Amino acid sequence: MPRAYGPRHVTERVIGPGASLPYDARMSLPSTVPDMFRLDGKVAIVTGASSGLGVAFAQGLAEAGADVVLGARRVDRLADTAKLVEAAGRKALCVATDVAKPEDCTSLVALAMEEFGHVDVLVNNAGIGTAVPATRESVEQFTNVIDVNLNGCYWMAQACGRVMGEGSSIINISSVLGITTAGLPQAAYAASKAGLNGLTRDLAQQWTGRKGIRVNSIAPGFFASEMTEQYPPGYLESQQGRIPAGRKGDPRELAAAVVFLASPAGGYVTGQTLAVDGGMTIT
């Protein structure tokens, strides 16, 4: 069981309005473009790391050089993800976390700080989805999705924003369903992801100039995950014509986008929602 930590372990670094940051990304950029994608010496947190895309994100960040803190409700399944991180030569820390509970988010960040001394990257990946007609969706079904997909991302970002230093990066995993629709009745999921895109913009304008923390979101199209396994038979095939690339995405392609936004290569990108969708949102 993870140990409990009080609020004293999480302190916020404040820079007053109009003050100059003691940080200049141009002065700290690696000398070559490939090196700009490296995350050596960085510590990344990945929520929802027990399966699917969360596993790909954790492995990709480790391969780029980061130690990775793995959070999920199903902590027993994090051991397999940890093995992938360690196989890449990096350290892994597994923490039972329900992001819908603010105290779990605070505890996860406190444990990361105690183990590694700093947090540089947050990948807000934990999420759930439903497909229920709007006239039949219950209050509990709707609020459960919002609590995890939107509120949980905010509690995690808030906890990390209190301890992150200049040059850090927060990446919210949104969805193309926050931008468009895709034939299923997914009001709660679509609302949560559209809200996450708005949250991304606001946190970027609050923190990029004042704290040096970049905040972006990624809107994946169709990638193999636990969520896509729950779709009705034939659904993915019915959507294939909307994808100019003509295929589902490979999770490694999405992990590469995460590494880009987490690394110095993405140092001039903030407040954006990057669609990684094979062109689905342009059709």
Quick check: is 125 in a domain? yes
Looking up residue 250, the CATH number of its domain turns out to be 3.40.50.720
pLDDT at 219: 97
Structure tokens at 84: 């992938």
Residue 18: pLDDT over 70: no
Q: Which of 5, 189, 231, 268 is catalytic?
A: 189
Domain assignment present for 29: no
Give a yes or no: residue 90 inside a domain.
yes
Domain ranges, residue 62: 34-275
Q: Answer whether residue 96 is part of any domain.
A: yes
Tell me how far apart the alpha carbons of residues 267 and 263 are, in angstroms, rounded to a whole number.
7
Q: Does residue 268 have an active-site annotation?
A: no
Please check whether residue 225 is in contact with residue 53, taking contact to mean a CB–CB distance below 8 angstroms.
yes
Bridge partner list, 96 = 72
Contact by Cβ (8 Å): 111, 45: no
Vertex 9 angle, CA 59 and 205, to 5°: 65
In a domain, 15, yes or no: no
pTM score, two decimals?
0.88
Contacts of range 81-87, beta carbons closer than 8 Å, 24 or more positions apart = 81/49, 81/50, 81/54, 81/55, 84/55, 84/58, 84/59, 85/58, 85/59
Look at residue 228 and tell me whether its pLDDT is greater than 90: no
Q: What is the DSSP letter of 8?
A: G
**pLDDT tens across 234-257, in order?**
777 777 878 999 999 999 999 999
Q: Assess if residue 116 is contained within a domain.
A: yes
**Residues 208, 126, 117, 268, CA torsion sign:** negative
CB of 131 within 8 A of CB of 145?
no
CB 212 within 8 A of CB 166: yes
Domain count, the chain: 1
102-137 pLDDT, tens digit per residue, is 999 999 999 999 999 999 999 999 999 889 999 999
Is residue 35's pLDDT more than 90? yes
> Residue 224: inside a domain, yes or no?
yes
Give bridge partners of residue 249 from the DSSP assignment. 223
Tell me, yes or no, whether 101 lies in a domain.
yes
pLDDT for the residue 73:
95
Tens of pLDDT, residue by residue over 197-219, are 999 999 999 999 999 999 999 99
Query: What is the reported pLDDT for 62?
Result: 98
